[in-house]
Amino acid sequence: MNQNLILRLSVGVALVLVILACSFGQATPQAEPPPPPTAILPPTPEATPEAPPAIEHKDVPVDLPYERTSQAGDQDSSTTANQKRAPGGDRFTFGRYERPFNANTMDQYFPELDIINSIFYQDDAWIYATITLRGGDKEKHLSGQYGFEIDSDLDGSGEWLILASNPASTDWNVDGVQVWYDANGDVGGRITVGADEYGNGNGYETLLFDSGQGDDPDLAWARVAPQDPTTVQIAVKTALLTGDPTYMAGAWAGRDLNPALFDFNDHMTHEQAGAALIELENFYPIKELAELDSVCRIAVGFQPKGDEPGLCVTNPPKKVACPSGQYQCYNFGNQQICVCVP
Ligand SMILES: [Ca+2]
Ligand SMILES: [Ca+2]
Ligand SMILES: [Ca+2]
Ligand SMILES: [Ca+2]
| pLDDT > 60? residue 12 | no
Confidence at residue 317, expressed as pLDDT on a 0 to 100 scale: 82
Centroid of ligand 2 to alpha carbon of 89 (angstroms): 22
User: Average pLDDT in the 55-65 region?
Assistant: 92
Q: What is the domain partition of the chain in residue ranges?
A: 70-306
Task: Please tell me the distance from the alpha carbon of residue 57 to that of residue 237, in angstroms, as a whole number.
Answer: 13
Confidence at residue 20, expressed as pLDDT on a 0 to 100 scale: 39
Residue pair 163/259 in contact (Cβ under 8 Å)? The answer is yes
Query: Nearest ligand to the C-alpha of residue 99?
Result: 1
Confidence at residue 169, expressed as pLDDT on a 0 to 100 scale: 97
Q: What is the pTM of this model?
A: 0.83
Q: Considering only the C-alpha atoms of the chain, give the largest distance between any 2 of them, rounded to a whole number of Å.
A: 129
User: Average pLDDT in the 32-36 region?
Assistant: 50
Confidence at residue 336, expressed as pLDDT on a 0 to 100 scale: 86
Centroid of ligand 2 to alpha carbon of 247 (angstroms): 9
Q: What does 277-324 look like in DSSP terms, one character per residue? A: -TT-TTT-SB-SS-SEEE--BEEESS---S--TTB--SS--S----TT
Give the residue with greater pLDDT, 326 vs 283. Answer: 283
Centroid of ligand 4 to alpha carbon of 138 (angstroms): 36
| Residues written for the chain | 342
CA triplet 69, 221, 248: central angle to 5 degrees?
35
Centroid of ligand 3 to alpha carbon of 193 (angstroms): 5
User: Average pLDDT in the 195-203 region?
Assistant: 82
* Confidence band of 244 (pLDDT split at 50, 70, 90): confident
CA-wise closest residue to 114 among 291, 324, 303:
291
Query: Nearest ligand to the C-alpha of residue 252?
Result: 1
Query: Nearest ligand to the C-alpha of residue 109?
Result: 1
Confidence at residue 8, expressed as pLDDT on a 0 to 100 scale: 54
Q: What residues does the ion ligand 1 have nearby, CB within 5 Å? A: 74-75, 114-115, 293
* Confidence band of 32 (pLDDT split at 50, 70, 90): low
| pLDDT > 50? residue 13 | no
Query: Nearest ligand to the C-alpha of residue 152?
Result: 2
Q: What residues does the ion ligand 2 have nearby, CB within 5 Å? A: 151, 153, 155, 157
Centroid of ligand 3 to alpha carbon of 281 (angstroms): 23
For the ranges 25-29, 162-166, 219-223, 334-338, the lowest mean pLDDT is seen at 25-29
* Confidence band of 50 (pLDDT split at 50, 70, 90): low
Centroid of ligand 4 to alpha carbon of 267 (angstroms): 12
| pLDDT > 70? residue 43 | no
| pLDDT > 70? residue 215 | yes
| pLDDT > 80? residue 16 | no
